[in-house]
Structure formats: structure tokens, C-alpha cells
Structure 1
């Protein structure tokens, strides 16, 4: 019934448009002869898709129609975005092969290892939502593949399987389409200054939570990436395209990129095949008199990027960057650029990718088989049996890493005996092994091995991404694997033993990932929660004692309000929901350390946080915070546009979070409101550039200024070549390195950490001024500061020993300055406890001032 009505609707649209047989869209071959029984996009939509930006539902409707109208196309919903938009994957092939799609996919792992065909080509578009030419190009390309009546397309579909992910970021794409369409007049404005070409914050580049999905191929935090990777590893494509846009005053870029900035773990043959296929892009663009360039600007290094991840996992990834109209038409240095012209180039290189891949199918198939074979040989040559990692006493964090590895098609096996990893004892059942003898050995080396010696000094993205450090788990290579269990297909969530209900109090150890969301839920339900500020040993059974770390929570039955549900029942629910251990205390008298009613076990104050957002601030960093609250703490977070700071009663909030960004445009009255907020008892939590900016607020800081005197005569700098400026600047910016910090585990903001040393992700040159109060530094960068990645000698010397996390009292409140990003890309789990501590334990940070001689 639905299909009949759907086809009738399409027929009606075609009739209304009276379009007849559609003419070829720019970018398609001039002799394109479409099947007249398949409606062209303009016929289906009722408008020319080059004239208006497409909503995602319009794209999906047309692609669903193609799958009904053509026996060359099948379509599958592989997932759903945060915004509940469907994620679609199309398969194009001959009608005969369409019937074999499931069998082909099921056989791809074997075929990829043994060098069997057919070639599989994956076309991916618009991972950045405001790079919209790819969205329309996907629709037009799909129409061409479904309806073209020529030998070339028939040959492609006979020889290859073509997969298409038409919109990698539907939520961002819709945000952008709404913006530009609502600003389009009957006569579009080409002036670059027009409002259409300047989206409001946070713009459509990012996904629902303002993350850059082109950096999520490794962390897999979001449903879009998880859905894609499941299909990617099932299909093991030979070629993967990644269609983007860049600034308006650019032409068209396609890989190969900067040769010196390729990932050294990617085989050289990958880059030569990329260059071979590039000849096909060049030919089609030359025929259209379109300018382009290669081997500049873009690297192929970060493993979590859409054109590099395939390179490290057996495919050939190809990046395309089209100069953008950022709307419908815009004046550029290259003349007036229309949206339709940008779409046409993306169509041309979509077809050239298919053409080149089919022409060199034998080479690509052989390369992939050699990729997996040589990976295993490299493991043997390196005498590497694999890696082991443990949960470090936090089962939830350990299982999170196992789950991530499984999503990357990595073989993970449980360790059946007690082992020591990186000097830490791991009981049986709390550790896992990753054998080196597997297809993805190169990828494993990329994500497991910290690097400090690199051949390059400039990076398009981060220079390192070691998962052991990001999860703060013991991880080490091994020459010999211990006794192992069967390879895991999935990992069960951690389910601790339910807490006993017959106890005067319960304790939640703070050194587990499930504790902060459990605390957040209890505070939201108005329960009274205490916190150990000193280690304490408590009787937890008839003959059992247990030592609890600083930060561990105490939930005393006798302190709970009568209006709240029984606390033991609520604790049992939350323990199961968050995988958090809850331990029953048998008595309030401690074996050693503070008793449960001690002043050293104060009540945690409820929190009501808000975050400042808006133009000039980093959507990515603000998004990390919002996502952390929404999905990890499972609590709402108020987002205040900075233009409203003077119109909102800030006393309603306990914490104001300032994400990374440029605060120079913040008006003086708004800054004054933040000062008053702190003086009146509020907590200001400022990260990265915001941490440096708050030092300019009139809060009677006692900071140690730079040692260099301003009136000291400056030496004349040695002249440097103008052409070296961009590389020199890139070296000093710190594009993404892992640095070491040393914590003060006695400080409330470091509660829950049993080790002093911790790895943090550092981006940018911001540096905190040390406070004159010696008790204010929660974390200092270590003297040998670089743990993994690239860091110039100047930055090593500059950062060594400086504050990384500092809290200072001002009036009745406090300011927390954070130099780094503790929620980086949603997967740096090792430092998220620092952020949780700043939220929940900042109120118990006392005044620390020694008496002076006068006292």
C-alpha cells in the first residue's frame, strides 16, 4: 500500500513539473541519456537542486524513491543521528549482483585477505554539514548511476560494488540548509559580506553536539561514526572518497597531499595508487576547464580523519576539497562561484573515482590483500606478540576501551590469569590482550604506541592519539602473551554486586567511572551526600575492612530528607544503571582515618551549572562539555549566550563554565557580572584560552608575572625567510600533543586519582600564570613534559613545571583555571574525573594562606 501511494506521489510531482525527459546536470557527461521512467531530482523535488540547498528529508525521500524505481540500487538504514535523522547507505551494482549483496558483504573479510573481487568503492559526502555541495552531488550522482543508459555505467555496475553514504552529518547539514535557504532572496546576493555567507554560532559544520565528525573516526563517540564503521569493516572497501569544501578563495584540491606529512605507517603503495587515481580526477576537471591542485595544504596523518583512517585499515582514502560558495553564490578571487558549480566538481570527482578504481581494480584488490598479509608479517618481524591492558581498578573504563577496539574490528581476548602491566597488578578477569597477529596491526601500532620522535614538525590535526594514555589505563607491549580466553564478540556492561540494604551508610569509591553520574543523580534527587577529604579505612563486613580514596562518597541513611524515597533502593537502582560499585559500611566508626560523621567528611553542595556560549567561542569545546553533561552525567546544562550575561541572574548558578574561545569581544558589563558572581560565592571554571582571559579580570589576583623585565633591551632577532612563516607558526601552535602532569592527590580537584602522574591532551599555546599561593596548583606539567607527539623545544622549556590546573579563592567564590581540554573529543576518559571534581568538589576547597610573621 505504502509503495503504491509513494509511486503515485512521484508520478504526480513529475506531472506537475511537466519536465519531460531531464537534461543532464552540470558535472555529468554531456551525452548522459537517463532512463525516462526514473524521475530526475528536479522533477521529484519540484525545483532545481542547484538553486536551493537540500534538507536531509528531501535527500532521503529521493534516494528511497531511486531504490524503488531502479533495480540497480538498494538502500539500507544503518543508524540514526542524535537528532533522530536516518543514516542511509546505498548499494549500486548490476541487478544480478544486487540479489547477492548480503552474501558479498558476508564474504568480504575473506575476499579482502585472499585478493578476490569485486572491487568495492565507497563514496562519502559532507561530514561537515556546511560543506553542502557534497549533499547535492550525492543525489545527482545517485541518479546518474541508477538511470544512465551507457556502456560506461553498465560496465562499472557489472564489475564493481559502489557504496554511497550520501550525508555523513545530517544534523549539521540541515542546520546549514535552513540558514542559507532562509536568507536566499529571489536574486541571491554574491557579496561575501552578506549575512547568508556568515552562519550564526555554532554553524552547520558540526553535528548535533557541535563535534567535528571528521575527527570521530577513531574515538567513535557518536552514532553517525559507529554506524559507518560497522559497515566499513563489513565491506572493507578498496577506495573511500571523502568530499569536503574549503574557503571561497580556493579552487579544488584532491589527494595526494603534502608528501612529507603522510602517516609513516601507511604503505607507500597507497600513495602511489592515490596518485594514479588522481589522473582521472585531473582529466575530468581539465575537460571542464576547472582549476585544481594537489600535493599541498592537506596532510594524511591523523588516524581519526575520514581520508586517513581508511589508509591505515586496508583501503585507499581520498580527500576532496571544493572552494565553497557558503550559500548560493559568492564573489571570490576566482570570480563569482555558484553553488551549482561547486556541486558539479564534486560530481566530476565522484565519477572519476569510480572510473579510476574500476580501471585499476586488479591493482587495488592485490594491494588490499598485500596490506593485510604484510601487516601480519610486520608483527612477526617486529617480534611483537601484542599488547595487554588492564582496567586499572576501574572496570567501566577498561570495558569502554574493549568496546572501542571491537568497533574497530580489532581482536581482543580476555586474560585468564593475574598479570602485571606497566608495573600495576591486574587480577584475573581485569585485563585483556590484543594479539599483534591480525589484519589491523598497523592501526594498532598507531593507537597504542606513544611517539616522541617524529620526522615532521607541522600537523593539520593532532600529532598523537595513544589510547592507553587517553583512557588512563595500564597498557604495554608484550613479547609473550599469557593464557587467554576466546576472542570477544562483544563486551558486557559492568554490573557490580548490588549493595546490601541493611546498613547505616554506604560508600561509593570515587576512583571508578560510574561514580560522578551516580553523584549527579543523587544530588538532583535532593539526597545529602558527604565526601572523604582524607583516606579512610571502614569496616564493610563482619571481618572485612577496606580503604577508600579521597573523594569517595558517603551516603548516610540518617541524614536523608524524609521526603526522599528510601536511599537504599535508589542506590541500588543507580548502581545498576551506572555500573558503579556501592559498598555497605557496617558502622560509622572508622578503623583508621576519619569517621563517617567527621568534619573531614563534609556534605557536598548541590550544583547548578551553566555554560557560556556564543560567537567567538569554540563550538567544539563547548560541545564536548554539553555532550559530557547530557550523555555521561545525564543531567541538563544551561547554555547562556554571552550577550545575555547582563540580563540573567547569575546567582541562580553554582558554576559558570567558560569554554575555550576568544573572549575579547565580551563587553565590560558582562565581565563585571562574572567578577561579581565569583565575589559572591560562585565558581568560575575556565578552560584553555578562557583560563588565560580570566587572569585579566579584576579579581585581586596574586600571580607571579614573567621574569623578563619590560624595560630590558630586546635583542635584534635573526632574520628568517618569509616563506618559512607558516611552518614556523605551525611548529609553535601545539596542534595536539600528549603532555605529562603531576597531580596533588590531596587536593579536592584531584580526588580519586591514586597515581600522581597523568597524561593530558594539549592544544594551543595558552599558559597559566602561577599563583603566589603554593597550595593553588592542583597539577603541574612535569619537567620532562612530552609524553607523546610533537612539541617544539621552546614549548617544552616554556611549559615544564608550569601550572596545568589551578584554583584560587576570590571573595566568597573561586576561579578554576584549566590549561587543557579534559573532555577532548569525548573520549579522553583519563582526565574527565578532573572536570567532575571541579564541578562537584570545588565548594570544599578551603582558604589556604599561611600566617605571616605579623600574625
Structure 2
């Protein structure tokens, strides 16, 4: 048992005089009373956690609860708001007053200095102790006999999200309950400590929700961030777990800090850390700070709040799925679930305490943060230009994201020429801004977040970082634009795509649909699912004085004559549903380029697609492909488990997608031979990122590592005297954790249809492959291809003149090598057409 915390957490006074009037407080049950078992003795399923929070809300005037959405699997997402009765009676006023401080809501804020603290639990489903801690925390906040917590709530509103990822948590909890015996086994070798694939860390689609705060690709993230922006808290804590032998981690965070983080945000992390340390010291609990967990990548549960003005922090408890209900640690002690939840409970209350003690300063600094953002924003660039002539579907997708983050944008007030950073060339040059161009100014409430998303080269104070280091949105969306050091005036306006008109008076010879982005892939899949036969152009052509690029979809009446009168109505209806303009051609005889009956206009066979999944494959990478098919392009895909893959008849499929795999034995030699034979008979294999490693030097596959010249020359004798303490930095010099590269594309190849000569790719490692000797080097990284983000100097040299995307013909079939993953975390919008090309265009 923990030693009682003398000053704060055990100051209970029976019949204490409270500052609030509590309704039916005698009816509030402790978690153990409500659940019927001692908290920490077993896992509490999602529905019971929700039930307990609703119970507290229904029996205490200090709590309100709100259902704010549901997970993909239909589980409830909820928030609880906790404060004293006076604050609860004016909760809406506190909320709107805080939004007025930010400038996101019009009006002058009052002098109210109520601090808002948001606690987020269980974003990773198999880091389960925090939801248990959440129940203990809310109970102690409202318990009638805990006078100390009541004093904090006089000037503080606490918002609690008890379970951000219920689908992942239930996946883990259900598995554990089916695995454990009557008593848990603390030996780490026991089965209950080895969670199988898929583990519970991720959501339904195997996405890491703690990487999705900024990108909002997942349902749970979109619903949560919408609620978050209704409050804009001053402090946010994201509760996690790490390896079961690790001491507890709390703020202050490790470097690198993004240089948009203010001195105050950094300083108050220290204050919170010192307060946490006080209680950990009293109980002789081990902890560490300022290591591992940095504040740079903007899509975490600590950085996203930080870039929105809060004190954003991650707290990491030892545990994770390997801890089970109890596990023997390296030093021989047994770490129990009760230990884990108690530690999280302690830091949660400690954070509320120190926030309450500094409520005036928190509110003051928060107000200054947004005042500075509006009137004197920091950073080199003040205006980001998005050219008006970009693809409208890409613009719509980008502006939808900005709208979700409440980032303002508009049009230029006048035409002008000036110096600016050109994202495409990577240099400063004379550029022209027209009145039709869109501008994002950092002089706005969400100016810091705008800066984070659009600055060309985020500055790293330390190269040892936890995640990717580049994410700039011009590159992610494949759009043209500039970064300007001057502030330009902006006429705020919303974006709307031009109206489409897909009503035709006559019945054309063929319908034409351009091939330029994800929306066009979505139209294609709708056509195929409705058994409409489609052709595509492998060469540019001109008809009716319009030019059409490679990949253009050609839907002829002749191919679909069996559809009869349904044909025109269905094609027009599906194009309108996908908000895509189609064009009618009265003849197949074009002005230039191949006629519609040419062999250069190819019939597109509806592919049957399979995805390898299961033990040995990367959970996240499988999920990205699954989500792409199931939620983005809505096209059938069959997931094949590695456990029975050897028994699958591959002739039932036309496309097999091999995701990143950490186990090189996912395919044994015999199955490799069968896959080769299937390819040779007409199948298509798409290897994504690390899956390519398995194909290197395999019989029949042309993929090879680039020769490492550094390794071919022996080190000089002095160079062998490496310093032990420099090993991490030596490793970093040869690594690339995530940076943007300009990839030179062969746009004549079907894999590159719809793209220009350059594609900006998020390169996630330093894997360097040689150009294909017998194949098509469709996308390659040449010299000086690095555009943004950190890459070690050795890695940068190694990645010069290497393959990024390639296609090898093998008999009647083909292999698509996707060294970079265009579907990474589903936020690299411009890569989604590339994957569509791999599935639908290549090999047809």
C-alpha cells in the first residue's frame, strides 16, 4: 500500500464545512462500492467505467456528464465536468468567457480567473490503468469528506475524458479476461503478459489515436477535438503507460521543444513536475523527467494542446499490456494494477492542485498567449499562400482540415509581387500573389497552429526526437504556394468548389472524368461497384478543345450497352454523388492523341484485392490500408491472416498488398515460390515500405540494396575509437525518422498518372535501394532531394539516387515497390492517388 499522502490526498474531515451545497452526496458510491470489487483487483470494462461516471454525475451537483460521440464500434465517448456548485451553475459562462480570451468567440472577457484542467485517459487501449485511475480521481474530487480537493475546485474546472479509445481497451481487456486464471501470474513469461496480434493499443482500424490529434483522420479524434475547441483548456494531461520496468515519467518534457513553445509553457511544466515529485518523493517512488518524450511532432496529446496555448503534458506509468494485473520487475518487486492506478491518480490530483494554486497566472498567461498570436505572432513567416489554381478537391480537403481546427483563411486583397519561399523549389524567389489566391495569416487566434502546419522547415533544437520531423501541408496535399515574411491583409472567406453540372440533354458517345486525386479514385470505385465498365487513357488527348491527362477515365456507351437506359442516369448520379464534373464526348475521334478505340485506351478490369494481416505484420500499416479501402475509397478488400495464408488460393485475387512486416518469415520459401507463380500468371503484388526488405535479393525479384560505399572501405584506425557516450548521436547521423523528399516521377507510367514531374514524399527511414535494372524506376530520390525535416548527414548521402517507387514486370503480372508509404497515418493526402494507381492502373 502507498504511504498516505499527509498534506493533500488523505485530508478527510467528517462533516467538514464545504464551500458547496452537495445534492444527495450521501448516495455517491466509491468505485469499489459501485463495481462490487476492489478497484485495482481486476479490469473494469468500458460500460462499467461509463456507468460509474454517470452515477457520480447523477448524484453530485458538482459534476455534469456529456456523451460527445461514439467509437467506430459504437462505444460511448463521454466527458465529465467537475467543479464546485457555484462554478457548475455558471459553467457555460466560464466556457464562453475563456473562448473570448482566445478571440475564437467575439466579446470582451470578464475578470473571471477560473482555471480549466483537462485530463485524458486511455488513448492507448492496452495502457489500461489510467481509466481505473480516472474513477478514483473523480470520486476524490467530489467526496464530501475531502476538503482539500474542494478547495481546489473553488477556482478550477476539471474536465475528464475517462476513455479515449474504448475499442482498443475492450480488445485488450476481453483478451486478458479470457487468458488469466483465478489468480494472476506475475511471471512475465506467463501467457497473460503476451498480448497477441492485433493488440489493444490502437482503435478499430489499428490507428494510433495519439498520433492523430492534428490530422483528424479517425472518428474518435474528430469528435474529441471538436469538444476540446469548445473549451480550450489551460492545462492538458495525457495519461499513458510504458515498459513495465520503467520508472514513472512526468513533465518537464525532453528536448527538442518546438521553438513555438513559450517560456511560460516550459516553466510551468517545471512547476508541475516539482509538485508531482514532492508526492513521489514522500512515497519513495522512482520517476524521471526531461528524457525521451519531447514536444515537437504536433499531433500528440501533449503537443496539440501546447500549440493551442495549454500546458500540454504526457504522464507515463510503467505497465503496458505486459504488466497484466501484476508482473515481477527486474529488481524483484511486483508491480500491480493498484500501484499503477495509484501513481496516475497521484499525478492527476497533483496537477489539479498546482493548477488551482496558480489559477490567476494560468489564465493571465493563456490570455497573453492568444493576445500575442493575434497582434505580435512569433516565427519567421507571417503569411502562407495557397495558389487558387490548385486542384479544387485538394483545396477542399485542406480547408476542411483548417475549418476543423478553426484556423482562419481568406483571399488576398490585391495582386502583388514580392519575395517568398516557394515550397516546390525549396528556395526564396520573386513570387506573384493574385486576388484569387488563398492566404493563411499567423495574425489570428490560431496563428501558432497555422505556423506549425505550414512553416517550411521546422527548427529542431535537438536531433534526437521521438517521431517524424516534417509534415508541411503544401507537401502533404500536393499543392502550390509560398511562405511570406510579410503580413498580408486577408479577406476572410470560406472555400467552396465550383458547382458541377452533370445533367446532359443528349446521350454522349462516352463520359470522361479527370484523374487527379483521391476524389477521382472514389468515383472510379463507385463506378466499378455498380458494374459500370471503365477504360482509361494511357496517353494525353484532346477533344472538344479540352486537354485530358493520362489516367482520364473513359466510360463508353458501347462497353455498357447491357445497362440500357440505366447507363446515363447512373453515371451522372455517381459523378454528382462524388462531386466530380464529368464531360460528354460525342465521338471517339479525338483532336489529338489516341482515339477511344486505341490500344492506348485500356480496359480497366475490376480488381479483387487482398491484404496480408496478422502476426508478423505491422498493425498500424495494415490499418492504414484497411482504412483506405473501407472508409476512404469504399472498395472491397479481403484481409488474409498470416496464420492461414499458406492455405489461401491466390487465384481468387488479382492484387495482394504486402504491408510493412517486422518478421521476415511472414512468407516462407515455399509460399514465396507460390506467390511468384501467381504473379507470373497475372497477379499483382504491392509491397509497402518495410515489406520491400523481404523481397531484396529474392529469386525473381529485382530489388537490391544500394551499395554502401562507407561500409566497403575499412575505417581508419583513429575512426575505430568511437566514444561510448556518442553512440546515440552516431546512430542519428545515419537515420531519418521522417522528412520530406522531392521524388522525381516518370509521369508516363501508370503508377504516376495524375502527378506532375515531382511528388513530395514523406520518407520515414534511411533504407536505400538501387535503381531497378529490369523494371521501371517510376519515382526516384536524386541528389539534393531533401526538402524539409531532419535527416542525418550519412543518411542524406545514402538516400541520394535511390528508388522510391518502382514497378517490375514478372511474366503476365507485376510487382509494385512502394519504398515510401503514401498512406502513412492517412494524413498524406497527395499519396492517396498514388496508392490508387498501384491498385487500379498498374498492370491493366
TM-score by length of 2: 0.91
State the distance in 1 between where 2:251 and 2:511 align: 59
Alignment of 1:577-588 (within 5 A): 577-588=577-588
Structure 1's 565 and 828: CA in aligned 2 closer, same or farther, altered over 3 A? farther
Q: 1:156-187, CA deviations, whole angstroms, 9 ceiling, x for partnerless residues? A: 22211111111111111111111222222111
Structure 1's 713 and 512: CA in aligned 2 closer, same or farther, altered over 3 A? closer
* Counterpart among 84, 95, 98 of residue 94 in structure 1: 84
State the distance in 2 between where 1:580 and 1:145 align: 54
1:470 equivalent to 2:476? Answer yes
Q: 1:311-332, CA deviations, whole angstroms, 9 ceiling, x for partnerless residues? A: 1111001210000063111111
Say if 1:26 and 1:344, in contact at 8 Å, map to a contact too. no
State the distance in 1 between where 2:704 and 2:314 align: 47
Say if 2:514 and 2:553, in contact at 8 Å, map to a contact too. yes
User: SS at the partner of 2:284?
Assistant: coil
Structure 1's 714 and 357: CA in aligned 2 closer, same or farther, altered over 3 A? closer
Structure 1's 795 and 83: CA in aligned 2 closer, same or farther, altered over 3 A? same
* Counterpart among 215, 219, 230 of residue 215 in structure 2: 219
Alignment correspondent of 2:22: none
User: SS at the partner of 1:188?
Assistant: coil
Q: 1:516-571, CA deviations, whole angstroms, 9 ceiling, x for partnerless residues? A: 111112222222211111100012xxxxx210010010000111151577222222
1:186 equivalent to 2:176? Answer no
State the distance in 1 between where 2:484 and 2:5 align: 57
Structure 1's 526 and 329: CA in aligned 2 closer, same or farther, altered over 3 A? same
In the TM superposition, residue 700 of structure 1 has moved relative to its aligned partner by: 5.6
Structure 1's 737 and 33: CA in aligned 2 closer, same or farther, altered over 3 A? farther
State the distance in 1 between where 2:438 and 2:711 align: 56
Structure 1's 763 and 323: CA in aligned 2 closer, same or farther, altered over 3 A? same
Alignment correspondent of 1:526: 531
Alignment correspondent of 1:683: 684
Say if 1:604 and 1:843, in contact at 8 Å, map to a contact too. no
Alignment correspondent of 2:256: 261
Structure 1's 619 and 383: CA in aligned 2 closer, same or farther, altered over 3 A? closer
Alignment correspondent of 2:277: 282
In the TM superposition, residue 821 of structure 1 has moved relative to its aligned partner by: 1.1
User: SS at the partner of 2:288?
Assistant: coil
Alignment correspondent of 2:27: 37
Say if 1:395 and 1:430, in contact at 8 Å, map to a contact too. no
User: SS at the partner of 1:635?
Assistant: coil
State the distance in 2 between where 1:476 and 1:734 align: 26
State the distance in 2 between where 1:336 and 1:668 align: 43
* Counterpart among 511, 534, 540 of residue 535 in structure 1: 540
In the TM superposition, residue 440 of structure 1 has moved relative to its aligned partner by: 2.4
State the distance in 1 between where 2:348 and 2:606 align: 54
Alignment correspondent of 2:149: 153
Alignment correspondent of 1:726: 728
Structure 1's 708 and 720: CA in aligned 2 closer, same or farther, altered over 3 A? closer
Structure 1's 430 and 569: CA in aligned 2 closer, same or farther, altered over 3 A? farther
Q: Which moved more, 1:145-154 or 1:135-144?
A: 145-154
User: SS at the partner of 1:783?
Assistant: coil
Structure 1's 26 and 599: CA in aligned 2 closer, same or farther, altered over 3 A? farther
Structure 1's 529 and 195: CA in aligned 2 closer, same or farther, altered over 3 A? same
Structure 1's 750 and 279: CA in aligned 2 closer, same or farther, altered over 3 A? same
In the TM superposition, residue 448 of structure 1 has moved relative to its aligned partner by: 0.3
Alignment correspondent of 1:106: 96
State the distance in 1 between where 2:6 and 2:132 align: 12
Q: Which stretches in structure 2 are left out of the alignment for 5+ residues?
A: 15-24, 104-108, 425-430
Structure 1's 340 and 63: CA in aligned 2 closer, same or farther, altered over 3 A? same
State the distance in 2 between where 1:76 and 1:816 align: 48
In the TM superposition, residue 27 of structure 1 has moved relative to its aligned partner by: 13
* Counterpart among 354, 374, 378 of residue 372 in structure 2: 374
Say if 1:642 and 1:670, in contact at 8 Å, map to a contact too. no
Alignment correspondent of 1:61: 51
State the distance in 1 between where 2:241 and 2:139 align: 22
User: SS at the partner of 1:173?
Assistant: helix
Structure 1's 707 and 247: CA in aligned 2 closer, same or farther, altered over 3 A? closer
Say if 2:609 and 2:654, in contact at 8 Å, map to a contact too. yes
Alignment correspondent of 1:456: 462
In the TM superposition, residue 791 of structure 1 has moved relative to its aligned partner by: 0.9
Alignment correspondent of 2:452: 446
Alignment correspondent of 2:330: 333
* Counterpart among 367, 381, 386 of residue 383 in structure 2: 386
User: SS at the partner of 1:498?
Assistant: coil
Say if 1:703 and 1:772, in contact at 8 Å, map to a contact too. no
Say if 2:259 and 2:459, in contact at 8 Å, map to a contact too. no
Structure 1's 140 and 636: CA in aligned 2 closer, same or farther, altered over 3 A? farther
* Counterpart among 310, 328, 352 of residue 350 in structure 2: 352
1:503 equivalent to 2:508? Answer yes
Alignment correspondent of 1:593: 593
User: SS at the partner of 1:740?
Assistant: strand
Alignment correspondent of 1:171: 167
Alignment correspondent of 1:436: 442
Alignment of 1:800-815 (within 5 A): 800-815=800-815
User: SS at the partner of 1:275?
Assistant: helix
Say if 1:396 and 1:494, in contact at 8 Å, map to a contact too. no
Say if 2:735 and 2:791, in contact at 8 Å, map to a contact too. no
1:739 equivalent to 2:741? Answer yes
Alignment correspondent of 1:542: none
Q: Which moved more, 1:522-531 or 1:627-636?
A: 522-531
Alignment correspondent of 1:825: 825
In the TM superposition, residue 765 of structure 1 has moved relative to its aligned partner by: 2.5
Alignment correspondent of 1:402: 399
Alignment correspondent of 2:19: none
Structure 1's 340 and 706: CA in aligned 2 closer, same or farther, altered over 3 A? same
State the distance in 2 between where 1:387 and 1:702 align: 40
In the TM superposition, residue 710 of structure 1 has moved relative to its aligned partner by: 9.4
User: SS at the partner of 1:662?
Assistant: coil
Structure 1's 345 and 712: CA in aligned 2 closer, same or farther, altered over 3 A? closer
Alignment correspondent of 1:198: 194
State the distance in 2 between where 1:427 and 1:573 align: 37
Alignment correspondent of 1:5: none
Alignment correspondent of 1:8: none
In the TM superposition, residue 343 of structure 1 has moved relative to its aligned partner by: 0.5
Q: Which moved more, 1:796-805 or 1:713-722?
A: 713-722
Structure 1's 428 and 576: CA in aligned 2 closer, same or farther, altered over 3 A? farther
Alignment correspondent of 2:20: none
In the TM superposition, residue 752 of structure 1 has moved relative to its aligned partner by: 0.7
In the TM superposition, residue 713 of structure 1 has moved relative to its aligned partner by: 5.8
Alignment of 1:779-818 (within 5 A): 779-818=779-818
Alignment correspondent of 1:645: 645
In the TM superposition, residue 49 of structure 1 has moved relative to its aligned partner by: 3.0
User: SS at the partner of 1:192?
Assistant: coil
Alignment correspondent of 1:131: 127
State the distance in 2 between where 1:677 and 1:688 align: 22
User: SS at the partner of 1:89?
Assistant: strand
State the distance in 2 between where 1:789 and 1:711 align: 29
Say if 1:26 and 1:341, in contact at 8 Å, map to a contact too. no
Q: 1:275-328, CA deviations, whole angstroms, 9 ceiling, x for partnerless residues? A: 011121112222222111111121111111111111111100121000006311
Q: Which moved more, 1:292-301 or 1:667-676?
A: 667-676
In the TM superposition, residue 361 of structure 1 has moved relative to its aligned partner by: 1.1
State the distance in 2 between where 1:696 and 1:202 align: 30
The CA RMSD over aligned residues, in Å, is: 2.7
Alignment correspondent of 1:14: none
Say if 1:414 and 1:484, in contact at 8 Å, map to a contact too. yes
State the distance in 1 between where 2:597 and 2:481 align: 39
Alignment correspondent of 2:776: 776
Structure 1's 378 and 199: CA in aligned 2 closer, same or farther, altered over 3 A? same
State the distance in 1 between where 2:146 and 2:423 align: 65
State the distance in 2 between where 1:429 and 1:637 align: 45
Alignment correspondent of 1:605: 605
